[in-house]
């Protein structure tokens, strides 16, 4: 037995075991699958392929062809009149259950460890078509065990990639109890060495924009500190993403080795050509995180929460979720003036997104949320900014994999990659709303029975 076939056989055994554990949640055996006669959007941006046949063997895509593929023992799915695209990737989320208190508590949020709060939200992400995501800062004793559960196949969840706690400075933005606060380089390196023992998938640092005139400056990482961290991370094979909300801090991050941006610059003066050129030349992927403009910005309006009546919200949100969204969360956003500032900034945000897209920047859909349906609002906002649906397929999939450095394994429908697929009943290239017409979600070659997931939509039946 060759080493390859041995490890393959072993993997089969392991996945059979994982299957036995998860059968109650998932409901479908991990048999090989042949999707026949489907229109394929592979996520790379190529034109769709009509009458494609896709053979999935085990966890991965084995063959794609417009010629007949013999199914052998594979389960055949008739894709006639349907569409396949890669599973969606949300490149900026925070799994619920790791941090207590309102978002507005800033550095005073308390670390918590509540896996039971996380689990239904992870199921909701899958139901919404998300098959991979990056937790973009959380409580480490909470998030690493969640990632372990996902990787062992013990919970229904998108692939979970994590940065662990964020990296900031004492009293800086995002410098709460879960963060590594950089002081001297000796101390910081010890903190990073400790972090590396838990094997983060990426690192994230948080920079603070310069204060407005007459306002007190919040401390922020210096250029030297940024460079030390990104150099050291690179030596350990890790990419660093940064929270940098304005062009100056964003530029500071990139020129000092940051490889990706956790937010797009949405406010302030129009983006400069020099900045756009830098992002393109250095191939810096940018997580868009615009959804606040579509949600928070409208909270004070009459019917401003109508989006909660959309199918995916109704199917996945519990009564408590709705109560929180319509109650304290909404009240706080209005009370703290966040709603007004988002509303005022919408036009600028739309213009900046269009500029990034037109310049050829690698955009990836990220929501900065903790629940699945928001990915579709994010994509809709990008569409409103002027990005057409066919381009959004790549922004919603492969570009997220590139952002995380995972593009060898996920993000597109190509031979050899994990079979993370959506089967849709309407053409995603014809409209971004069609991304929601999900008939099937397949993760790692496993068909997930949406009708059996532990979600409000299935409790009503
Ligand atoms: Zn975030």
Checking if the pLDDT of 14 tops 60, the result is no
Give the Å distance between the CA of 166 and the centre of ligand 1: 10
What is the per-residue pLDDT for 302? 86
Give the Å distance between the CA of 210 and the centre of ligand 1: 19
Checking if the pLDDT of 254 tops 90, the result is yes
For the segment 159-170, the average pLDDT, to the nearest whole number, is 98
pLDDT, averaged across the chain: 92
For the stretch 182-238, pLDDT in tens is 999 999 999 999 999 999 999 999 999 999 889 999 999 999 999 999 999 999 999
What is the per-residue pLDDT for 336? 87
Give the Å distance between the CA of 56 and the centre of ligand 1: 34
CA 279/CA 288 separation, integer angstroms: 14
Instruction: Collapse the DSSP code of 66 into the 3-class scheme (helix H, G, I; strand E, B; otherwise coil) and give the result.
Output: coil
For the segment 24-41, the average pLDDT, to the nearest whole number, is 79
What is the per-residue pLDDT for 108? 85
Q: Give all domains of the chain, ordered by start, each with its CATH number.
A: 3-87+413-452 (2.30.40.10), 88-404 (3.20.20.140)
Percentage of the chain surpassing pLDDT 90?
84
For the segment 382-391, the average pLDDT, to the nearest whole number, is 98
Give the Å distance between the CA of 92 and the centre of ligand 1: 6
For the stretch 350-366, pLDDT in tens is 999 999 999 999 999 99
CA distances from 133 to 8, 75, 189, 450 (A): 26, 28, 27, 19
Checking if the pLDDT of 454 tops 60, the result is yes
Give the Å distance between the CA of 86 and the centre of ligand 1: 24
Nearest to 92 by CA among 315, 309, 404: 404
- 16 CB neighbour count, 10 Å cutoff: 11
Instruction: Collapse the DSSP code of 156 into the 3-class scheme (helix H, G, I; strand E, B; otherwise coil) and give the result.
Output: coil
Give the Å distance between the CA of 25 and the centre of ligand 1: 29
For the stretch 55-93, pLDDT in tens is 999 999 999 999 999 999 999 999 999 999 999 999 999
125 with 113: CB under 8 angstroms?
Answer: no
Reported as a pLDDT band with limits 50, 70 and 90, residue 268 is confident
Surrounding ion ligand 1 within 5 Å at CB are: 136, 368
């Amino acid at each position: 037995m060759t080493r390859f076939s041995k490890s393959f056989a072993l993997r089969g055994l392991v996945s059979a075991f994982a299957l036995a554990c998860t059968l109650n949640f998932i409901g479908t055996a991990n048999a090989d699958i042949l999707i026949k006669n489907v229109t394929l959007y592979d996520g790379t941006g190529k034109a769709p392929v009509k009458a494609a046949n896709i053979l999935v063997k085990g966890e991965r895509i084995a063959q794609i062809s417009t010629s007949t593929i013999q199914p052998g023992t594979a389960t055949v799915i008739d894709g006639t009149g349907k569409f396949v695209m890669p599973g969606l990737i949300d490149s900026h989320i925070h799994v619920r259950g790791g941090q207590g208190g309102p978002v507005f508590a800033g550095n005073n949020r308390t670390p918590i460890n509540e896996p039971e709060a996380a689990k239904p939200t992870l199921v909701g992400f899958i139901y919404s078509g998300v098959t991979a995501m990056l937790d973009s800062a959380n409580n480490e004793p909470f998030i690493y065990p969640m990632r372990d559960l996902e990787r062992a196949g013990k919970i229904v969840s998108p692939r979970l990639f994590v940065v662990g706690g964020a990296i900031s400075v004492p009293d800086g933005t995002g410098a709460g109890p879960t963060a590594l606060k950089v002081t001297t380089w000796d101390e910081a390196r010890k903190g990073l060495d400790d972090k590396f023992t838990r094997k983060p998938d990426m690192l994230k640092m948080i920079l603070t924009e310069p204060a407005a005139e007459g306002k007190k400056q919040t401390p922020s990482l210096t250029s030297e500190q940024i460079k030390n961290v990104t150099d050291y991370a690179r030596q350990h094979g890790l990419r660093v993403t940064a929270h940098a909300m304005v062009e100056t801090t964003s530029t500071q991050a990139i020129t000092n080795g940051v490889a990706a941006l956790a937010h797009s610059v949405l406010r302030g003066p129009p983006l400069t050509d020099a900045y756009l050129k830098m992002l393109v030349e250095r191939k810096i992927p940018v997580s868009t995180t615009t959804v606040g403009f579509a949600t928070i910005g409208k909270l004070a309006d009459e019917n401003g929460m109508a989006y909660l009546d959309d199918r995916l919200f109704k199917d996945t949100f519990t009564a408590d979720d709705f109560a929180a969204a319509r109650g304290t969360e909404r009240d706080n956003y209005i009370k703290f003036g966040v709603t007004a500032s988002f509303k005022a900034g919408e036009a600028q945000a739309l213009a900046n997104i269009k500029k990034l897209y037109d310049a050829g920047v690698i955009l990836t859909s990220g929501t900065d949320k903790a629940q699945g349906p928001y990915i579709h609002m994010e994509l809709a906002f990008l569409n409103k900014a002027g990005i057409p649906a066919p381009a959004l397929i790549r922004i919603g999939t492969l570009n997220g994999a590139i952002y995380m450095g995972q593009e060898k394994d996920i993000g597109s429908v190509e031979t050899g990659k994990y079979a993370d697929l959506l089967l849709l009943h309407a053409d995603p290239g014809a409209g971004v709303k069609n991304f929601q017409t999900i008939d099937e979600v397949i993760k790692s070659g496993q068909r997930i029975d949406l009708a059996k997931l532990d979600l409000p939509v299935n409790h009503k039946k």
